[in-house]
A and B are shown apart, each in its own frame.
Chain A
Amino acid sequence: MHKLIFSLFVIISTSSWGQFSIIPHNVGISYAGETVTHPGGKLSLMYNLAQWNKVTKSQRGLAKTKRRNTTLNVNFGGFYHQRFQTGIFFLPEIEFSESNKKGWYWAAGAGAGYLRTIIPDTYEVQDDGTVEAVNAGHNYGMASIYFTYGKDLFIQNKKPWRFFLKPEFVMAFPNFPTLTGYFLLEVGVAYKLRQF
């Protein structure tokens, strides 16, 4: 059984990487405000992993087609919370999205990555009683869950842009007692570099 699972994993990985291009399908940039108002930014490299259409029938018997995607978003970002900390993170996320024919879409996803904090204006009393400024900050694992709502202009107008709003709850761990929460609100734009 283990051999079978391992073989499947190798086959799938190999075939996926065979098609893989380092150039993302979309590249996004967003304002990512920690607790909304503490400024931050995020650069997202968005790789479509799969795309298919879901056809349903309306009550009047008309066909409705929705486009569904799974995407890997590779995010680099940071935020600045004055007097509290600066955070710099690397956060890959897996996303599922669904868009209608007008281009409106929603997405939900989760991610796991790394967060480095930098704590400003920190002082420490030395063994001899003197006080020295020290560099302070911590390394954390990072996990996120989020929802996105936006509009993809390519679907209806063939313009390579999409806009989105993305509330995101982020956890940094280990922390006291187990993790520390953050809320990020992203408002961003993505540019299509290539089609799936």
Chain B
Amino acid sequence: MRLFAYIILLFGLSLTSCEENFNLEENTNTQFNVRVNGVELPVLVRGNTASKKIILFINSGPGLTSLDHAHLDLMNFKTIESSYAIAYYDQRGTGNSQGTISKGSLNLKQYSKDIFDIIRVLETKYEQPEIFLMSHGFGSYLSSFFLLSYEDSNNVKGWINLDGSLLIQESKVWEYKHTFLVNIANEEISLGKDIAYWTDALDWAINNPIISNQAQKDQWRSYLGNPGEFIIPSEQRDLLTRETFDVVFNSSYNPLPALWSRNGKITAERISEEVNGTNLIPELSRLTLPTLNIWGRYDDIVPPELGDDIYNALGTPNADKYFEVFLNSGHQPFVNEPNLVSQKVVDFIGKY
């Protein structure tokens, strides 16, 4: 009986002994939850909060988790964290978000409100730091939707857009992908690489100005290859067994809802349904905040030609917007050229 009482005591102590702190430190590692409309969203703040600059990272997907990525540093943001803090969060319906989540609440308006509230909590708990957004892929759609929705009330100081997809109109995206192939073929020919191959690709592209059917899409893919095959850099980051064990057994994550649930897939379907056919690029003229656009030259999902149009559409003064094309990257420059991404991000934030 004494043993049982001892175990209960230990259990009780463990509940109260690990309160999070919100001190401004160079090496912060704090996790908390933000409740929005009955749902708790986990937020992990890591890095240099003493800088009083916090980057809120909005991951891609839709439906991708973030906290487990952060735990394993899959985005290679540790270098950035030594200069500034990064706040990672699991979006509603994904990963370890908790609570009663109705499918009806999986929409952009609610997701924007989630971002707004997380920023409010960050501002309150960290003595009004400057907030930057950093987003990748679909996360950039979400970021720009939020910035446009809360145009007058957000205090976001700047936006880092990593290969962001703001155009969800398939036919238009394929126009860009067509141009992407033409440009790649011309570049390779001018470099004297596989001239016959790329000439053939160029001829095919000229003879197929509109790519619409599956056979054409397959042919387009066959010229460029899949990531890691020959021209598009590999975006795979192999997980070591030790890392997998670490995130499963030694992290704040419950891996079952995060990794082996259909929640991410359902979330992706709901959000995709809502955004399908939309294009935020014409709206970007309303945004005037400093923006760093980073694109992989070989991004076959959101080609840099599309990134260039996003850059041009922004209402930000030219002196405050940047478009950086990384020549050895695909859709995930933070995987292909992590040091360069870190350097550009740190330099950009340092200016504001």
Contact = CB atoms under 8 A, between A and B. Distances in A.
Contacts of B256: 35, 180-183
Contacts of B15: 80, 86, 118
B121 interface: yes
Nearest to A131: B124
**Secondary structure of the B contact surface, majority rule:** mixed
B236 to A, nearest CB: 26
B257 A180 contact: yes
A39 interface: yes
Given A121-B19, A138-B99, A43 B4 contact: yes
Interface stretch (B6-14, B140-148, B160-168, B297-305): B6-14
A131 B125 contact: yes
B100 interface: yes
A131 B126 CA distance: 12
B35 A124 contact: yes
Contacts of A82: 18, 252
B52 to A, nearest CB: 17
Contact of A123 (B32, B93, B97): B32
Contacts of A138: 98-100
A156 interface: no
Interface string A118-161: 11111111000111001010100000000000000000000000
A118 B35 CA distance: 13
A177 interface: yes
A123 B34 contact: yes
A81 B18 CA distance: 11
Which bucket holds chain A's interface residue count?
Answer: 35 or more
B31 A181 contact: no
A45 to B, nearest CB: 13
Contacts of A84: 42, 96, 252-254
B253 A177 contact: no
30 contacts: A34-B254, A35-B249, A35-B255, A35-B256, A36-B249, A39-B14, A41-B11, A82-B252, A83-B20, A83-B42, A84-B42, A84-B253, A119-B33, A119-B40, A120-B18, A121-B32, A122-B32, A122-B34, A122-B40, A123-B35, A123-B121, A123-B125, A124-B34, A125-B34, A131-B121, A131-B124, A176-B101, A177-B266, A180-B261, A182-B256
Interface of A: 29, 34-37, 39-41, 43, 78, 80-86, 117-125, 129-131, 134, 136, 138, 174-177, 180-183
Interface of B: 3-4, 7-8, 11, 14-15, 18-20, 31-36, 40, 42, 93, 96-101, 103, 116-117, 120-121, 124-125, 248-250, 252-257, 260-263, 266
Top 6 A-B residue pairs of the complex, sorted by shortest distance between their CB atoms: A83-B252, A181-B256, A121-B32, A176-B101, A131-B124, A122-B33
